[in-house]
Structure formats: structure tokens, C-alpha cells
Amino acid sequence: MEGFLFWQRWLLIVGVVISIFGMFMSFFSGTALFYLFDRNINSIFWETADVADGVKGFQRWIYGAWGATVAGWGIFVTFIAHYPFQRKEKWSWNCLLSGVLVWFMIDTGFSAYFNVYINVILNTILLVAVILPIVFTRKYFVGYKKDPG
């Protein structure tokens, strides 16, 4: 059981980190704190790290919306990890597995297609962080009979 609690807490922490990163994206895009990310993406689409003011405005908006989505996703992971996953409700394991796989394939596929390799790398790190607890807790959800008492 200690192994399960380790991975459940790991997943909980990953969810919190995802939420914080999403909020960071929303509130700090276009600032010096977001420079590395902007520089890598700008050079792919505009062949320069310096972009026009209209593009900067669009980026602040899109990163605000994208960051909000990421933060919300992190909150879902956090709550699922804290409540139903901890209680070993099978749907929570299935939800996390299917959600992370669909997200990874679509997001990473588009990122690779458009040569946004910084996002491919970040997605792969995040996939590993989320998939490890899912893989290592599988035995508690697949064919596992909870003690009714």
C-alpha cells in the first residue's frame, strides 16, 4: 500500500505543478520570465525572436487562454488524484490514462508537425510525470477488489 500512496501523492503534486505552470503561462507571457519560451516559438514562426506589437498582443491572449486551460487541467488532475484515485475508483484511473494519452498524441503531434520541439520536449516530460503513477498503480485498479469494510 505504501507504493500506492507514493504514486498517488506524486500524481497530486504533478497536478499542482501543472496548475501553477498554467497560471504562469497566463500571467507572465510577454514578460522577461517567459522570454525563453517566446524566443523558441517566435523564431520558428516568424524567423526572429522579436515580433511585431500585433503578434505580441495575440501571443499574450493565446498564452493567457492556453495557460488557463493548462491550469484547469492541472486542477482536474489534482482533484482526481486526491479523491477518487486515492479511493481506487476505477473510473479515475481510466480517465487519467485516456485523457493524458489523447492530450499527448494530439498536442505533441501538432507541435512536431510545426517543428515546435520545445513543446514536444515539455510534453514528453509531462507525459512521463503523469504516466508513471498510472502505470505503477495499475494493479490497484485492474482486477482489484476493494475491501468493503
Domain housing 57: 2-140
Cell of 100: 493524458
At 71, is the pLDDT very low, low, confident or very high (cuts 50, 70, 90)?
A: very high
Residue 111 lies in a domain: yes
pLDDT of residue 40: 82
Specify whether the CB–CB gap between 55 and 46 falls below 8 A.
Answer: yes
Residue 39 lies in a domain: yes
Nearest-angstrom CA–CA distance, 32 and 18: 21
Higher-pLDDT residue of 45 and 7 is: 7
Residue 30 lies in a domain: yes
At 149, is the pLDDT very low, low, confident or very high (cuts 50, 70, 90)?
A: very low
Residue 146 lies in a domain: no
Higher-pLDDT residue of 44 and 127 is: 127
Residue 23 lies in a domain: yes
Give the number of domains in the chain: 1
Residue 116 lies in a domain: yes
Residue 145 lies in a domain: no
pLDDT tens figures, 75-115: 999 999 999 999 999 999 999 999 999 999 999 999 999 99
> Other CB atoms closer than 10 Å to residue 50's CB: what's the count?
11
Residue 97 lies in a domain: yes
Instruction: Please state, in angstroms and as integers, the Cα–Cα distance from residue 130 to each residue in 55, 58, 90, following that order.
Output: 33, 30, 17
pLDDT of residue 128: 98
pLDDT of residue 145: 61
